[in-house]
Amino acid sequence: MINRLKIISFVVLLFFISLSTFGQNNLSPNPLQLDDRPKLVVGIVVDQMRYEYISRFWPKLGDDGLKRLVRNGYSFTNHHYNYFPTYTGPGHAAIYTGTTPSVNGIVGNSWYERRGKSGMYVVSDTAMATIGGEGNLGKMSPANLLSTTVTDELKQAVPQSKVIAVSIKDRGAVLPAGHLGDGAFWYDDRTGHFVTSTWYGNELPEWLQSFNERKLSQEYSRQVWKPVLDIDAYTTSNKDNSPYEGTYSGSETPTFPHAMDSSLTRIKTSPFGNTLVNELAKAAVNGENLGNDSATDFLAISFSSTDYVGHRFGPNSIEVADTYLRLDRDLGDLLSHLDKKVGSGNYIVFLTSDHGVVDVPVSLNKRGLPGGLFDSDTAIDSLQAHLNRKVGQGNWVEAYRNQQVYLDRNLIESEDESLVEVQEEAARFLLQFKGVASTNTAHNLETESYSEGLQAMYQRGHYPKRSGDVYIQLAPGWLDTGYSVGTSHGSPYSYDTHVPLIFYGWNIPQGESSEMTFIPQIAPTISNMLQIEFPNGSQNKVLKFE
């Protein structure tokens, strides 16, 4: 009887030990106390930031911004997007949901909606109204985002937590704030104010009303953009008067100085737009008292002006270099403010980007490198004519978005044609055009399984209800554009996928890793640090700080 009781007691003891171990292993290898969390998480997304910008601009950076993050934080130097397309909307969604467009549904900055036969903007929501301004600027929400974000999971786990997101771009604020964010605020270039949507409430918070009344945008619009260094000091950039750069309206050359001409629109396409957002972020920390109670708060900042400058002038311009030197100063100012208001060591910062950028294709050609401009208008018109000859008369091509052909599926069905065969015929035909490296069909992305390579990237970016029927993959260095100056992004190649990822602050070791890591690992890593549920679409692959 005694032996039986001992056996039973031992089994019960093992049971409780296993329960305890199970719970600890789910938290982390070294379990934290539940009250051991940072006071504030600051997510920084620098729009259109290549990884190599850090090393290229390093000698001219100050000590208080990027160098502080790199020297005292942990850098993942081989960090990439693992899907196509690399645009702003999908990038912000992937960072905060921990998954790809195939799950979160954000397949572009916009896409074609078959049911309504019209375009859908990524955060458009006609049921909403503008708060803090007029017109349709505030008719936005995260309704198109189909999975939760790390910010959503924080709000569910700790309802007292505050989640605030700020950006020049609406999508740069709405997507990081998630479905449950307390506030997302973006720029109205007609008034110079920051506005929001009724999704977040019926009036602007008092601190934002006060910020708008400071009229910083009007002040910045009267400035002249001059380089912070002597023009000859930008030795890793093209000459100032480069034939590959776009210009501001009214300017004959893309050269310094650039007058803002009191334009509230122009300042967002200059470094002053980043400074404006930085001031807004500091005002949010003060106004919302972020990081000053027992509940972890979250501040999401998206610096969009780097993208506007990059598109217009290209990655090798003095304008881009100067924009990053100025952003570096803004980051130093922000970190100093966080030290004072939250306390050094009490907050986590992560810095990354939503995508990179390709060199201006014409400049690549001038240097004897491959690249070019793809004429999609001619290709799609030719495809329509080819399908008329091959299949029969009809408007077979319904739309073209994000290098994807949307076929008229209703017409194909009514004509008793095979959707798969028409997709394959279109894919074969498009291969003949210069600059097209390969094509994929929705059928092969939905029926095959790809674990690696470019087709796997296309598969991770494919959401059947929103994506097209045929994908065009351009060759490296090629752009789907009619402009010979300026540049863009969106490809599956390293110049668009390789971006920085730096963690800094609370419990973050100093170091770096060159192991290949991916954007969807950021959200589950933050969730793991905060000991909260992972975003519900995430694959839950946590980054290792080794």
> Percentage of the chain surpassing pLDDT 90?
93
Residue type, 69: L
pLDDT, tens digit, 9 for 90 and up, residues 357-401: 999 999 999 999 999 999 999 999 999 999 999 999 999 999 999
Tell me what pLDDT residue 88 has: 98
Q: Between β-strands 193-197 and 130-131, what pairing exists: parallel, antiparallel or unpaired?
A: antiparallel
305 CB-side CA count, 13 A: 26
Which 3 state secondary structure label does DSSP give 175? helix
Strands (DSSP E) along 99-247, which ranges? Answer: 110-113, 118-121, 130-131, 163-167, 183-188, 193-197, 224-225
Of 77, 86, 88, 517, the active-site residue reads 88
Q: Between β-strands 224-225 and 258-259, what pairing exists: parallel, antiparallel or unpaired?
A: antiparallel
Strands (DSSP E) along 219-257, which ranges? Answer: 224-225
* pLDDT band, very low/low/confident/very high, at 177 (cuts 50, 70, 90): very high
Helix, strand, coil % (nearest 5) of the chain? 40, 15, 45
Nearest to 523 by CA among 56, 63, 98, 225: 98
pLDDT, tens digit, 9 for 90 and up, residues 406-424: 999 999 999 999 999 999 9
- Name the token pair of 184: 């997302």
Contact 166, 277 (CB under 8 A): yes
pLDDT, tens digit, 9 for 90 and up, residues 193-225: 999 999 999 999 999 999 999 999 999 999 999
Tell me what pLDDT residue 377 has: 97
Q: Tokens 């894919």 correspond to what residue?
A: 427
Contact 539, 99 (CB under 8 A): yes
User: Using only C-alpha atoms, what is the Rg of the chain?
Assistant: 25
pLDDT, tens digit, 9 for 90 and up, residues 503-534: 999 999 999 999 999 999 999 999 999 999 99
The answer to whether residue 97 is catalytic is: no
Which 3 state secondary structure label does DSSP give 207? helix
Nearest to 179 by CA among 144, 208, 203, 211: 144
10 Å CB burial of residue 446 (0-12, 13-18, 19+) is exposed
In this model, does residue 33 exceed pLDDT 70?
no
Q: Tokens 């399984």 correspond to what residue?
A: 449
- Name the token pair of 393: 């008369």
Domains and CATH numbers, the chain: 40-109+118-361+492-530 (3.40.720.10), 372-475 (3.30.1360.150)
- Name the token pair of 292: 């000053």
